[in-house]
Amino acid sequence: MKIPLALPDITEKEIQAVCDVLRTNRLSLGPKQIEFEQAICDYIGCKFACAVSSGTAALHMAMIINNIGPGDEVITSSFSFIASANVILYVGAKPVFADIDPDTWNIDPDALEAAVTARTKAIVPVHVFGQPCRMDRVMHIAKKHHLAVIEDSCEALGASFNGRKVGTIGQCGTFAFYPNKQITTGEGGMFITDDPEAAAVAQSLRNQGRGQMGGWLAHERLGYNYRMTEMQAAIGTVQMQRIGEILNKRTQAANRYIDRLKDYGKLILQEIEADVEMSWFVFVVRLVDDFSQEHRDRLINQLTEHGIGSSAYFTPIHLQTFYQQQHNGRPGQLPITEKVGARSLAIPFHSHLTEDQIDYVCQTLKRLIDTM
């Protein structure tokens, strides 16, 4: 049995939507982009959405729009994809990492507040694996210290905190549509906000700094080629029509994993808080403290040999080579992040998983751990 770690959920509807675009003469900055942006606004409950080439691009634009630059510090989680911190470096600011909660694996609000200094300009809470952070605490800290909140919701489209969709709680939010995400456009992302001025700047930034009223060769600010193609937007529009179905299938797969693994004493599952609505991005399990990173790495290799896709999730950002060499990352800096990161691995998760495949993954996983 071969079970990939991730698979996109693409149907003939998405394929036909791309073919329809290719029969037109608008392959960029066309009606499908507007339609996709409106679908996101309607679903999330925001006023403005700006489609871009990736979630990283959306985060980068959020840094610029919030006037973050040299001398500023931005607090975020090291237990995340590296883009969460890289975008802070893009604008010349300093990423400051706060440790995570040992149960939810999201940023610990107490550690977050302890990391605030006179130079702190913003917070980037990362909704890890689709679970919202404690946004009540995050927003309280931000208000107390006059900080911007840029939500990294790239793993959490559809998740809610206290009934409010993530991405709409801070000053702005970001989403990503890579093929392993809840919905996909192949590559792609979205910047969202309720601020019309921020939305206008975002639209300019993604399009080489062009203004709304200027010509094609008139540029008002330093901008980027962060545009999304009409083909991508067409896929995204159809995916948004199917998002309820897609999220439901992912939730069913996650619940089946939980049922089969929750009582297995050698694994720890991410604790899901009562006042959140989870939007499952990946399914990650953590070995108990008796095991080491070497055990985890060996387990990944053995799962691969048995046809089961698996990967370390996440290697802490501050321990990545670049961050150790150039930004003073060091072991021992974030003990909980490092403990969780060393023992965590993602197992196959997507909307095509069958019960037989989930049974095979869980049985094989337990057997391999028991023999380590």
Q: Pull the structure tokens for residue 2.
A: 């071969």
C-alpha span between 359 and 3 (Å, rounded) = 12
Residue 269, pLDDT above cutoff 80: yes
Give Cα 262 distance to the centre of its chain. 25
DSSP H or E stretch at residue 293: helix 293-305
| Overall pTM > 0.85 | yes
Q: Which amino acid is at 43?
A: Y
pLDDT tens string 312-357? 999 999 999 999 999 999 999 999 999 999 999 999 999 999 999 9
pLDDT tens string 55-95? 999 999 999 999 999 999 999 999 999 999 999 999 999 99
What pLDDT is attached to residue 212? 84
C-alpha span between 72 and 304 (Å, rounded) = 43
pLDDT tens string 95-133? 999 999 999 999 999 999 999 999 999 999 999 999 999
- What confidence category does residue 215 fall into, taking pLDDT thresholds of 50, 70 and 90? confident
What pLDDT is attached to residue 227? 98
Domain 12-241 has CATH 3.30.390.10: no
What pLDDT is attached to residue 214? 81
Which residue from 78, 172, 76 is spatially nearest to 115, judged by alpha carbons?
76
What pLDDT is attached to residue 75? 98
Residue 16, pLDDT above cutoff 90: yes
Count the helix, strand and coil residues of the chain and give each as a percent rounded to the nearest 5. Answer: 40, 20, 40
What pLDDT is attached to residue 259? 98
CATH 3.90.1150.10 in the chain is located at: 243-370
Which residue from 346, 356, 370 is spatially nearest to 6, judged by alpha carbons?
346
Residue 1, pLDDT above cutoff 90: no
Sheet with 164-165, strands from edge to edge, namely 164-165, 160-161, 276-277
Partners of 267 in the beta sheet?
A: 287
Which CATH architecture best describes the domain 243-370? Alpha-Beta Complex (3.90)
Buried/exposed 97-114: b ≥16 CB within 10 Å, e otherwise = bbbbbeebbbbbbebbbe
CATH 3.40.640.10 in the chain is located at: 12-241
* C-alpha to C-alpha distances, 301 to 271, 308, 339, 350, nearest whole angstrom: 26, 9, 20, 20
Cβ–Cβ < 8 Å for 123, 104: no
Q: What is the mean pLDDT of residues 231-243?
A: 98
C-alpha span between 136 and 231 (Å, rounded) = 38
What pLDDT is attached to residue 323? 98
What pLDDT is attached to residue 213? 80
